[in-house]
Structure 1
């Protein structure tokens, strides 16, 4: 019988600070691990920017490779354009139902598609109307210093103050919710460590099927 109950993960954000304490703004290496101490990849950690962040002139890119979005999580600044090339030798039908950006596009190998403008802050969940297993995310930042964790759970981010946001696709059943956290305690050590524990509410596989059932019409 498939598992259908809500389950919880504990996510620990471990951030290392210098022995001299927290400064106004500096680059830091953060690590995100789960309740078993395993690294969590593709989490986004963001701090508010101390100054304005210009919108990059170059378009961001999220490709289709081996029936997967590449990268799995893409961070862009609000007002940035994104290209969706298709490096597979098959076609895809990319779509989003997310409030920050609702769209659909058919992608054929070797054919350029129109770039999409992401001008609303938030999390955009991507799917493919042909390949249900495909899932990707675009994190649209608005004047935020962001870092995305790698396979080891590490991210480099410019720290500003003590409050920050954490997003991961398993933080909520909707896959779009962020958690605002505070660095409010320092553990002695060299370097000292701030450890914050989150509870992740993750819906069982039923929610995956519910999401897929909302797709655009079949090709």
Structure 2
């Protein structure tokens, strides 16, 4: 049991943790069903117009939210999706490409949240990722239909793969730690200029808000 001298410190720590946690409201504005997924967070079927609220602890890093399409699950929540698949309704890991990603790390350097939309795992659903309160940033937007004119080499069921998944070379995957834009990555960038189009696409694709900001993730904005 904690000593009485430690109780004020524990209370202060809990208050800091709670006040710097974030609420994510995930909304499906698509005309079709999307099976939302989050790591951490699990997953939920969202019919058109439905929302899902997630409370994420302060300090959470390497997190992501995405949408899955063409899913079918059994009574135990096991199944498969055409895009963003993780094998379960309530994901315990990341999804399979292609999947448009809302990525974030909460309360990091200088008490800031870092967030972005990434197409490094390809594209399946248009998405906006924006602060709901407590931040002046306009957020990250990728509302274009990237699938419509996806290059033939990158086309797959329900989405558009990033060239790294197709060609698996340093040029596209940045395995050596140094790479630049390519013709394929520029296809994504031209349609969604605020989203990551390749792994080193940081300058125009990373956004920050003060710790404690709440966020909206919208499919088909």
TM-score exceeds 0.5: no
More strand, by proportion: 1
More helix, by proportion: 2
